[in-house]
Homo-oligomer: A and B are copies of this chain.
Amino acid sequence: MHSEEPEGNQVVPSTGQNLDPHLKRYAARAEGMTASEVRALFAVASRPEVVSLAGGMPNLAALPLDSIAAEVAGLIASDGLVALQYGSAHGVPGLREQICDVMAIEGITGHPDDIVVTVGSQMALDLVTRIFCDPGDVVIAEGPSYVGALGTFASYQANVVHVEMDSAGLVPEALRQALAAAAAQGQRVKFLYTIPNFHNPAGVTLAVSRRAEILEICRKAGVLVIEDNPYGLLGFDGQTYPALRSMDPDNVIYLGSFSKTFASGLRVGWALAPHAVREKLVLAAEAAVLSPPVLSQLIVSRYLATHDWKGQIKSFQTMYRERRDALLTSLDQHMPAGCTWTKPDGGFFVWMTVPEGIDTKAMQPRAVTARVAYVPGIGFYADRFGSRQMRLSFCYPTPERIREGVRRLAVVLEQEMELLRTFGPASRRITSGPQTPSPDTA
């Protein structure tokens, strides 16, 4: 998952008059579904003259389109009656076997029967939330967390409790405290949602030394772990980390995706779940979409069978490493004192904190005017924390454009700091830490 559309629909309350004649008919859960003000800005930010450090779109330019085209043509000509026909909600069996090979790279030994193929791993997350979360149930997530996950949790009226990260990822002691606090308040915590590797948006990786501890804490608390791992194979030195799923198969639901390692537009992701949960997921998937697209699944399957997909991932690693280097180097060169940022060794994102008094959301229109875009931090929290943070993506623009974008951003920040020194804070900042958000205010 983790798309190019990072605006959090649960973050910004709709303020205008509502002219919708169907207003009184909606379900309670629909109240959390309001369009973000960021959305309009995104249209502007996508103009070619703007360097977008905002989107999370993978760069597909390195894909061998001609040979993929030939394979797909062969597939339709020879197996079209299968490829264009309904499939099962469980997913194509051959692909599920190949997915086991992909997961084995990170130490997972799963059975193809326990995999459900989904329309991107976003759908897997939606199904997991659907079968586990009643309104008011609590989901623990890193703070910050993936904006698309927060949207899904909000759409099922789950309450998100954020837990602190540091440069080694989720902090076990903070998790322990959050679980204890939830228990003390009588809240039902359904799962920990975590992105252990090359976190979106934080750009950090959960230390291997913490993994067993995190799993132990969750197991003791009777809380499932949802491990979302779209970037795990995009370590810049080819390194991988043992999946949480590999360490506790019975208490982890693993979400995987081909969006970052092959092609996002096919929308092929999956969940690997304990057997009984997998059965529920298939039934939920039937109700949601009947079956994922068979053609997409067969294209991925054939690509894995006929292309050097591991070599392709290596070339993705090299490309993204160059872009990460361009971003970090130019941040070092240009950012004013008081800015700090994470140093990812994989994935797509750097998380930057700016000096006190600067509100990254308030600053964003000025940045776009200066032809650079980022995503303000508050979109990655369910509780409006993150006003001093921003996400910088290095996945899509070229290194040269990244450097130019950082130069522009540095100028905007310098101006903002000058204004701040002269006039004081431009807007009231929210300084409270992670807390239980209410979806009703979303």
Contact = CB atoms under 8 A, between A and B. Distances in A.
Interface of A: 1, 3-5, 9, 18-23, 25-30, 33-35, 57-58, 60-61, 63, 65-66, 68-70, 72-77, 80-89, 119-120, 122-123, 126, 130-134, 137, 148, 151-152, 154-156, 190, 222, 224, 250, 259, 263-267, 274, 276-277, 279-280, 283-284, 286-296, 299
Nearest to A151: B287
A289 B126 contact: yes
Contacts of A88: 5
A85 B131 contact: no
Contact of A265 (B123, B267, B294): B294
Q: Which among A63, A74, A283 has the highest number of chain B CB atoms within 10 Å?
A: A283
Contact of A81 (B61, B84, B134): B61
Contact of A33 (B29, B35, B68, B283): B283
A122 B288 contact: yes
Given A26-B131, A80-B68, A289 B267 contact: yes
Contact of A5 (B34, B65, B75, B286): B286
A49 to B, nearest CB: 20
A34 B21 CA distance: 37
A265 B85 contact: yes
A382 to B, nearest CB: 13
Contact of A86 (B3, B87, B289): B3
DSSP class of A's interface residues: helix, strand, loop or mixed?
helix
Contact of A131 (B1, B30, B280): B30
A151 B87 CA distance: 17
B123 A22 contact: no
Given A21-B276, A295-B266, A86 B57 contact: yes
B132 A26 contact: yes
A9 B286 contact: yes
A86 B120 CA distance: 10
Nearest to A28: B134
Contact of A20 (B4, B27, B73, B276): B276
Contacts of A30: 130-132, 280, 284
A22 B119 contact: no
A284 B132 contact: no
Given A1-B290, A73-B70, A286-B5, A35 B279 contact: yes
B22 A276 contact: yes
Given A35-B279, A76-B65, A296-B295, A265 B84 contact: yes
Contacts of A61: 81
Contacts of A3: 86, 290-291
A132 B30 CA distance: 7
Contacts of A70: 73
A60 B267 CA distance: 23
B27 A130 contact: yes
A433 to B, nearest CB: 26
Contacts of A133: 27
Nearest to A77: B69
Contacts of A28: 134
Contact of A289 (B27, B35, B76, B122): B122
B293 A134 contact: no
A289 B265 CA distance: 11
Contacts of A154: 287
A227 to B, nearest CB: 16
A190 B26 CA distance: 8
The listed residue with most B CB atoms (<10 A of its CB), out of A5, A25, A58, A152, is: A25
B72 A132 contact: no
Contact of A293 (B20, B81, B119, B151): B119
Contacts of A5: 86, 88-89, 286, 290
22 contacts: A23-B276, A27-B132, A27-B134, A30-B131, A33-B131, A34-B283, A57-B86, A60-B80, A60-B84, A65-B77, A69-B80, A82-B265, A85-B265, A119-B289, A120-B291, A122-B288, A148-B286, A151-B286, A152-B287, A155-B287, A295-B296, A295-B299
B291 A266 contact: no
